[in-house]
Amino acid sequence: MGTPSGLKDDCEALLSRFQEMDSVRFEDFAELWRSMKFGTIFCGRMRNLEKNTFTKEALTLAWRYFLPPYTFQIRVGALYLLYGLYNMQLCQPKQKIRVALKDWDEILKFQQDLINAQHFDAAYIFRKLRLDRAFHFTAMPKLLSYRMKKKMQRAEITEEFKDPNDRVLKLITSDVLEEMMNVHDHYQRMKHVISADKSNPEKSLDLIKDDFFDNIKNIVLEHQQWHKDRKKPPLKLKVKGGEEKSERNSQQSERCERAESLAKIKSKAFSVVAQASKSRRHRQVKVDVSDSESGQVQTKTTRKRKNKETLKPAGKKVSSRDRDDMQNIHMEDKSLNLSMPVVTEEDEENESFSETEFTAPKRRRKQRTKS
Amino acid sequence: MAEDSRGDPACGGMDGRKDPVPSSGGFNFPEYEFPELNTQAFHVAAFGELWRGRLRGEEDLSLKDLPGGREVTDSGCEDAAVARDLGCSLETAAELRAVCGLDKLRCLEEGEDPEVIPENTDLVTLGVRKRLLKHREETLRIDRACRQETFAYEMESHAVGKKPENSADMIEEGELILSVNIFYPVIFHKHREHKPYQTMLVLGSQKLTELRDSICCVSDLQIGGEFSNTPDQAPENISKVRTIIEWSESHDRGYGKFQTAKMEDFTFNDLYIKVGFPYLYCHQGDCEHVVVITDIRLVHHDDCLDKTLYPLIIKKHWLWTRKCFVCKMFTARWVTNNDSFAPQDPCFFCDVCFRMLHYDAEGNKLGEFLAYPYVDPGTFN
């Protein structure tokens, strides 16, 4: 029997809520457990055989989250979950938790970490499970019967519980970006210096795309955003009034909020957080609405441009899909507007930008669809 | 069944088979050979020792009953133990006892029925179950377990927690329990995808012969011979004919070289096995059973602790028995061919109907037919 339907959803709902609490206290977990009435998961007049199978599956499922590569908090949550499931089960005698030999050493190490970090409640609970003889000490985590399954069901690891393993971000870190940008700056300045016309570099020296650095940054941010979007299904917003103007306004406010949320994401990605005050709101990140994809990030805009942008969707044929996308924007808490950490580069780019307001977005769009 | 028994490096046995995945852990650390399918070979007793070594000194291996009523135990004493194990103060220990108590997990009020699904629940599992219950309520007249389910549950749980009368028959702490699936040799079309099997639990300290003896196979009961003229000479109580061929005979089958080994000389602890890997048990010359060891674990207090009950059968495939063509009530004991009385060929009869139809009051054979004693595969249900 595979994992009973809904069980994975329920466990992950519990664990993700626990993760959001940012705590590893059993007290908090128990509160969550009671509020979700998780103990009732065994209710419903299951007959004996089904009760046994269901409980076994539940314990196996919860056990997976207790082992690496999940984050520390998730693992503690899984321990509490196991404690809850084991003690609230209705089977008589109780179904046990299977531990394979290869995992035991890791578990003991975890237990020691808990004690060292003085997370006594977690350590107490593990100790209690052992004293209650809740474990079966086995060779392998599950029974192996050489079933030639047509579809090999590999256990999927829930991404959001994992420590993020973003190779793109590892490659292009904020340091790398900063350095790239400095080099780019320097290069541009050099071109200016050695050119005859001090304001414009020689055409013959145009060997790279000017916005090369911007593109890389945007691509990385898009990638990051895609990561985030993948994890969290977008919440649906209430449908605002049908009037175009109000729609525009709502789109605008949604975009603002979206922009803020993206800014928050960016700040997490780039460890240096520069909080821009309200006077610098023009540096607020904006969403390029004209694209039909769920979210594109434009890092630099002017206020003028923002207004112009709002007209675009009205002018263009806004497909219903776009509308849906607008409504499906993930709402985050309002956070302060955040700009890119390095200011000088923005000034420069802003200038060039305001000149080519209309054309620039189009160009970007083209480039994006190309890539 | 004798495994290709590798000698310990110390006593210079023969070379083991090459494994596709190099083992990274210790020699007897169970690891996947093919992920999710089977492990590499490891020595059973050595594996047991790896576990026992890690758990020695703790209470994990104990098979004794827990001190009755944990609430009754002196909480002060318990707190001291907690404080000692976790390296915290006595006050913290007392606090932990309160904070982590089971009462903190209770989700139902005092009078609430634990079987009733609460009304406004967010749990997806319960939503699914509710719909299922509703569907059952609407479509079933009587909602109860069918025979097969009751049978399966009984098999699974009939020996759980059993203690031996004689304390000498008590399983030792640290004993290993192997879970073995033995597939039936019966070949029906409907079993194409999922071959029926029975599951037995066997102790590490038990000899291979003990498992062999406990396997009930109809091929053991087959009686050759045509008995239409002398129906009374077909043995009434068919006892098992034990002509178990030594494993060495399989040399002719082209399975490769295997060492001849006497099954009664080896216990399961002595074997090198791959968990999840299909092995072959051959008996009666040509009756083959596929055998898979699905699990090995340390014995637990809640297991059946009576040695004499092992090998213990915990799962059996329910086979529908062929019933007599006439009365449709009793299991068939005879099968006939070229039978002038029978509407089909072959035709199955129970003993009573067979005699009534084919013989007169004096026992003289009537008509033409060939009759063979029949042992239904479902005989062992």
pLDDT for res B298 = 95
Of B66, B87, B124, the CB nearest to A9: B124
Residue type, B376: D
Which letter, b or e, does each residue of A315-326 get, where b requires 16 or more Cβ atoms within 10 Å of its Cβ? eeebeeebeebb
Both tokens assigned to B87 = 């390296």
Peptide bond into B20 cis (omega under 30): no
Distance CA A115, CA A124 (A): 9
Candidates B52, B71, B77, B86: best to mutate against A (most CBs of A within 10 A) is: B86
ipTM over 0.85: no
Q: Return the percentage of chain A with pLDDT > 90, whole number.
A: 33
Which of A21-35, B282-296, B335-349, B361-375 shows the lowest mean pLDDT across its residues? B282-296
Q: How confident is the model at residue A30 (pLDDT cuts 50, 70, 90)?
A: very high
Instruction: For residue B32, list its beta bridge partners.
Output: B39
**Residues of A with Cβ-Cβ distance to B160 under 8 angstroms:** 93
Candidates A144, A151, A154: best to mutate against B (most CBs of B within 10 A) is: A144
Residue A118 has pLDDT above 80, yes or no: yes
How crowded is residue B377: how many other Cβ atoms within 10 Å of its Cβ? 19
Q: Nearest-CA distance from A228 to chain B in Å?
A: 24
Both tokens assigned to A118 = 């003085």
Which letter, b or e, does each residue of B290-324 get, where b requires 16 or more Cβ atoms within 10 Å of its Cβ? bbbbbbbbbbbeebbbbbebbbbbbebbebeeebb
The answer to whether the beta carbons of residues A261 and A253 sit under 8 Å apart is no
**Residues of B with Cβ-Cβ distance to A84 under 8 angstroms:** 105
**Residues of A with Cβ-Cβ distance to B105 under 8 angstroms:** 30, 33-34, 39, 83-84, 87-88
**Phi/psi of residue A257, each to 5°?**
-65, -40
pLDDT for res A355 = 40
Interface of B with A in 330-359 (CB under 8 A): none
Of residues A272, A174, A276, the one with CA closest to residue A217:
A174
Give the Cα-Cα-Cα angle A203, A206, A209 (nearest 5 degrees): 140
**Residues of A with Cβ-Cβ distance to B117 under 8 angstroms:** 40, 43-44
Cross-chain Cβ contact B117/A121 below 8 Å = no
Distance CA B287, CA B323 (A): 24
pLDDT for res A96 = 95
Helix axes A244-269, A212-231, angle to 10 degrees: 100
Interface of A with B in 253-292 (CB under 8 A): none
Cross-chain Cβ contact A37/B105 below 8 Å = no
Of A5, A43, A48, the CB nearest to B115: A43
Model's pTM, two decimal places?
Answer: 0.64
Cross-chain Cβ contact B145/A96 below 8 Å = no
pLDDT for res B16 = 34
Distance CA B68, CA B62 (A): 15
Of residues A49 and B58, the one with the higher pLDDT is A49
Question: Is any Cβ of chain A less than 8 angstroms from the Cβ of B116?
Answer: yes
Q: How confident is the model at residue A323 (pLDDT cuts 50, 70, 90)?
A: very low
pLDDT for res A297 = 39
Q: How confident is the model at residue A229 (pLDDT cuts 50, 70, 90)?
A: confident
pLDDT for res B258 = 45
Of B30, B100, B117, the CB nearest to A125: B100
How crowded is residue B29: how many other Cβ atoms within 10 Å of its Cβ? 17
pLDDT for res B215 = 81
Residue type, B58: E
Distance CA A324, CA B159 (A): 60
Q: Nearest-CA distance from B32 to chain A in Å?
A: 9
Cross-chain Cβ contact B36/A144 below 8 Å = yes
Q: What is the mean pLDDT of residues B52-68?
A: 84
The answer to whether the beta carbons of residues B289 and B280 sit under 8 Å apart is yes
Question: Is any Cβ of chain B less than 8 angstroms from the Cβ of A151?
Answer: no
Q: How big is the A-B interface in CB pairs under 8 Å?
A: 196
Of residues B158 and B24, the one with the higher pLDDT is B158
Question: Is any Cβ of chain B less than 8 angstroms from the Cβ of A152?
Answer: yes
The answer to whether the beta carbons of residues B333 and B218 sit under 8 Å apart is no
**Residues of A with Cβ-Cβ distance to B294 under 8 angstroms:** 143-145
Both tokens assigned to B244 = 């178990």
Of A44, A105, A124, the CB nearest to B100: A124
Which of A263-277, B102-116, B126-140, B219-233 shows the lowest mean pLDDT across its residues? A263-277
Cross-chain Cβ contact B123/A33 below 8 Å = no
What does the pLDDT look like over A245-280, one tens digit per residue? 444 454 555 566 666 666 666 665 554 434 445 665
Per domain, the residue ranges of chain A are 5-162, 167-231
The answer to whether the beta carbons of residues A161 and A65 sit under 8 Å apart is yes
The answer to whether the beta carbons of residues B261 and B5 sit under 8 Å apart is yes
Instruction: For residue B138, list its beta bridge partners.
Output: none
Of residues B90 and A346, the one with the higher pLDDT is B90
CA A177 to chain centre: 21
Instruction: For residue B336, list its beta bridge partners.
Output: B347, B371
| Contact partners, residue B27, CB within 8 Å, separation at least 6 | B42, B43, B46
Distance CA A140, CA B210 (A): 25
Instruction: Give the residue from chain A lying closest to B158, CA to CA.
Output: A93
Cross-chain Cβ contact B36/A152 below 8 Å = yes
Distance CA B248, CA B271 (A): 17
Q: Nearest-CA distance from A63 to chain B in Å?
A: 17
Of residues B152, B93, B11, the one with CA closest to residue A49:
B152
| Contact partners, residue B3, CB within 8 Å, separation at least 6 | B261, B266, B271, B272, B273, B279
pLDDT for res B272 = 87
Of residues A68 and A172, the one with the higher pLDDT is A68
**Residues of B with Cβ-Cβ distance to A115 under 8 angstroms:** 86-87
The answer to whether the beta carbons of residues A280 and A337 sit under 8 Å apart is yes
Cross-chain Cβ contact A42/B114 below 8 Å = yes
As a residue count, chain B comes to 381
User: Which of A95-109, A214-228, B204-218 shows the highest mean pLDDT?
Assistant: A95-109
As a residue count, chain A comes to 371
Of residues A161, A68, A155, the one with CA closest to residue A106:
A68
Question: Is any Cβ of chain A less than 8 angstroms from the Cβ of B50?
Answer: yes
Distance CA A215, CA A134 (A): 55
Of residues A225 and B49, the one with the higher pLDDT is B49
Instruction: Give the residue from chain A lying closest to B161, CA to CA.
Output: A93
Residue A242 has pLDDT above 80, yes or no: no
Q: How confident is the model at residue A284 (pLDDT cuts 50, 70, 90)?
A: low
Which letter, b or e, does each residue of B163-176 get, where b requires 16 or more Cβ atoms within 10 Å of its Cβ? eeeeeeeebeebbb
Question: Is any Cβ of chain A less than 8 angstroms from the Cβ of B101?
Answer: no
Distance CA A298, CA A339 (A): 11
Q: Nearest-CA distance from A78 to chain B in Å?
A: 15
Both tokens assigned to B86 = 């976790």
Cross-chain Cβ contact B99/A27 below 8 Å = yes
pLDDT for res A149 = 57
Question: Is any Cβ of chain A less than 8 angstroms from the Cβ of B46?
Answer: no
| Contact partners, residue B255, CB within 8 Å, separation at least 6 | B280
Burial class (CB in 10 A: 0-12, 13-18, 19+), A274: middle
pLDDT for res A75 = 94
**Phi/psi of residue B336, each to 5°?**
-120, 150
What does the pLDDT look like over A123-180, one tens digit per residue? 999 999 999 999 999 999 988 887 655 445 555 666 667 665 667 766 777 778 888 8
Of residues A339, A327, A330, the one with CA closest to residue A263:
A339
pLDDT for res B189 = 73
Q: Nearest-CA distance from B161 to chain A in Å?
A: 8
**Sequence-distant contacts of A171-177: CB under 8 A, at least 24 apart:** A172/A216, A172/A220, A174/A269, A174/A270, A174/A271, A174/A272, A174/A341, A177/A213, A177/A216, A177/A217, A177/A220, A177/A270
